[in-house]
Amino acid sequence: MATLNITYQGQSADYELAIDFAATDADIRRIAAEVVRSGGVRGLHVPHLPNTAFESFVVDRLTGPNDEQRIYLRPKVPFGGSCCGS
Question: Sorting pLDDT into bands at 50, 70 and 90, what band is 20?
Answer: confident
- Residue among 26, 3, 24 nearest 13 (CA): 3
Per-residue pLDDT tens over the stretch 29-83: 999 999 999 999 999 999 999 999 999 999 999 998 899 999 999 999 876 555 5
As a whole number, mean pLDDT of residues 7-26 equals 90
**Domain residue limits, the chain:** 2-74
pTM to 2 decimal places: 0.83
- Reported for 61-64, long-range contacts at CB under 8 A and 24+ positions apart, including other chains, are 61/21, 61/22
pLDDT, residue 64, reads: 85
pLDDT, residue 80, reads: 55
**Would you call 31 helix, strand, or coil by DSSP?**
helix
